[in-house]
């Protein structure tokens, strides 16, 4: 007896995916900074910030020229998230900035508006990056892809 292939339900719908990717594009259009979103169902670590640091390094986000990359990490089923900014942006905005953005995204998550929460936090991170790392049409290159990275 053959076992039928089970297709897992996508973590985000196509529309939600597009909403987030569009937000990344809009945010990065104004800055030399880079934003990536990583979504998985479960966090392998007790502390999601540790998982975010592992993913950040794995995606080579620590290799941007100005050290101005930011990872938005979300484990949907475990209801965990972390924002991980590289040295360059973290030195400019400080810990309270990240804490405020986590509170903002959680407001949307409590209403199960995951894509809206992620898109909004991407926009706010983009504004901070624009302030400290403005876009320069002569020198800016897109150092990292804008698509969402999906884990398990």
- CATH code of the domain in which 60 resides: 3.10.310.50
Q: What is the pLDDT of residues 101-140, one digit of tens each?
A: 999 999 999 999 999 999 999 999 999 999 999 998 888 8
The answer to whether position 57 is within a domain reads: yes
Res. 4 pLDDT band, cuts 50 70 90 = low
**Exposed / middle / buried, residue 138 (Cβ in 10 Å: 0-12, 13-18, 19+):** exposed
Q: What's the predicted TM-score (pTM) here?
A: 0.92
> What local confidence, expressed as pLDDT, does residue 140 receive?
84
The answer to whether position 2 is within a domain reads: no
How many domains would you assign to the chain? 1
> What local confidence, expressed as pLDDT, does residue 9 receive?
66
Domain carrying residue 62 = 14-150
The answer to whether position 5 is within a domain reads: no
> What local confidence, expressed as pLDDT, does residue 8 receive?
59
Rounded Cα–Cα distance for residues 135 and 29 (Å): 7
């Amino acid at each position: 007896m053959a076992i039928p292939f089970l297709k897992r339900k996508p973590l985000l719908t196509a529309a939600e995916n597009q909403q987030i990717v569009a937000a990344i594009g809009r945010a990065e259009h104004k800055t030399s900074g880079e934003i990536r979103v990583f979504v998985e169902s479960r966090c392998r670590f007790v502390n999601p910030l540790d998982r975010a640091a592992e993913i950040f390094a794995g995606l080579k986000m620590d290799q941007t020229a100005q050290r101005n990359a930011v990872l938005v990490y979300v484990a949907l089923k475990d209801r965990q998230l972390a924002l991980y900014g590289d040295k360059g942006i973290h030195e400019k905005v400080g810990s309270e900035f990240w804490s405020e953005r986590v509170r903002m995204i959680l407001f949307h998550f409590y209403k199960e508006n995951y894509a809206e929460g992620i898109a909004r936090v991407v926009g706010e991170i983009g504004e901070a990056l624009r302030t400290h790392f403005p876009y320069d049409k002569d020198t800016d290159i897109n150092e990292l892809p804008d698509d969402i990275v999906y884990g398990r």
